[in-house]
Structure 1
Amino acid sequence: MKKLITVIFTLCFMTSVQATEVAVLDFRAALLQSNIGQEAAKEPKQKVAAMDARLKSEQESLEADANNLKRDELTLSEEEFKKRRAQLAENQNKIRNMAANMQRQAKELEQQLIQSLTPKGEAALKLLIEERKLDLVLNRQLSLYASGASDITDELVERINKDN
């Protein structure tokens, strides 16, 4: 009798428990690693590289001015030294502002890129979810642990490449 009750309980329990298919995904990385993401990122990358080159040039100029001021310190009048030091400080502030501005612009370019690619990525993800019969997809950065088998980022990249 005990065995029969145990078997019935086990059968009832097994039918009430459903397996939940869970996967993790780095959606941003999948978009940027896909062929369309790589192609779309070319222009923003060029803009960022041009901004970096300009910033580097300004920093080198500032460094040269600082070295010149240090070299000429003993030969300049106190008034001229203070004037050049103030100009140097002003240029340093301009470069700091330029760097902050460039970082902001680079972030905006990346956000625009992600926004433009998101509809295609979401469509590919929807198909992947249906194919794998997933019940839940989590952002990889938010999960404490996920096995490599549960990460579908590479599969999404392949799907985006295939569909576009």
Structure 2
Amino acid sequence: MMRKEDPRPPKIIEAQSISIRSHHNPPAVDKLQQLLSTGGGGSGWDKCWEQGLTPWDLGQPTPVIAHLHRQGALPKGRALVPGCGTGYDVVAIASPERHVTGLDISENAIKKAAEISDHIGGPPYKVSISDYEEVLHPMGFKATSIVDNELAVPPRKGREKLGRWKRSLSESSL
């Protein structure tokens, strides 16, 4: 069967007044990405904390972590909270039976974590800046809290870190 070509010219639809936001981020996300892409060694994160652009900071422990702690589902021993930010999770799950270490790349986040820990509790937790691998190997952690933050860690890099953490930990509960 032969098809006839339509002799009419194709229609052109102009959409100058239509705003499509599927490929644009909200201004706050653009600002975050701009700050995080400048500088290295955590300076972008520090700028986010300085400017109060911290949508990942809940101002309280992560609900699932708090729930697991209340249920007694977290193992005793040592626990690591990488990217701990203000340290709410570190303080929430620390106990005499569980030593918790929080790591963050941002000096400002660590300062805030130290302030919170001074007001909320005391040992046995520690908040410090360090290289993840340096801390993981010698300390023998029993639990690792990893919160997915695709803005902070691109999916591929996140999988690489998870792979390293899994190889580093013989037993992980989270």
Instruction: Tell me which interval the TM-score lies in, with the shorter structure as reference length.
Output: under 0.3
TM, length-normalised to structure 1 = 0.24
| More helix as a share of residues | 1
